[in-house]
Amino acid sequence: MSGAPTEFRELYAAELAYVVRTLQRLGVADGDLEDVAQDVFVTVYRLRDERDHSRPVRPWLFGIAYRVVGNYRQKAHRRREVARDDVEPAEPRPSPADALDERRKRAALLAALATLDLEHRAVAVLYELDGLPAPAIAEVLGIPLNTVYSRARSARLKLLEATRALRGGT
């Protein structure tokens, strides 16, 4: 593919934040985000010639991330997390109050998503958070359309239950 490195670098720069956010939503531990994101983009680079450029890139990226997370979760029981203090923020920091509010919201969302198995979590992320239509989700995940609807409905109920439980049952 002529000019692949430039096109790949542009894709990487444009979509890295989306991939990292997707990996967080799919349950990748913060300490593993960089490595798993790298695995996603290694796969993206390897499969770049197979991508249908007439279709949106994010569902394609999600499908790759979903499969990489499946492999990550299988290996996770053999890994040991090491705390690091040398990580610098990628963006300018918001005010402390805004940052705290955002962290609480994100933590609540991630905690609620953590109650779902990977299959339901993937559908919830694509449908509820990314706004992808059900037929596209079925294609990305390689599952029947009715399964998407069933998982979306089930995931929504489980997320509501988890949110209520996290708030103390109110």
Q: Is the pLDDT of residue 75 over 60?
A: yes
Whether 94-170 and 1-91 are alike in CATH topology: the answer is: no
Cα(5)–Cα(121) distance, integer angstroms: 33
At residue 2, the pLDDT reads 45
Cα(134)–Cα(167) distance, integer angstroms: 30
For residue 27, how many other CB atoms are within 10 A of its CB?
Answer: 18
Identify which has the larger pLDDT, 27 or 77: 27
Domain boundaries, the chain: 1-91, 94-170
The answer, as to whether pTM is greater than 0.85, is no
Tokens 């593919």 — which residue?
1
List pLDDT tens digits, range 6-55.
889 999 999 999 999 999 999 898 889 999 999 999 999 999 989 998 99
Helices 33-47 & 4-25, crossing angle to 10 degrees? 140
Q: How would you class 141 by CB atoms within 10 Å of its CB: exposed for 0-12, middle for 13-18, buried for 19 or more?
A: buried
- Report the run of H or E that residue 149 belongs to, with start and end: helix 145-166
List pLDDT tens digits, range 88-128.
655 666 778 877 878 888 888 888 899 999 999 999 999 99
The fold of 94-170 is: Arc Repressor Mutant, subunit A (1.10.10)
Tell me, what DSSP letter sits at residue 27? T
Q: What's the CATH class of domain 1-91?
A: mainly alpha
Tell me if 36 sits within 8 A of 76, measured CB to CB: no
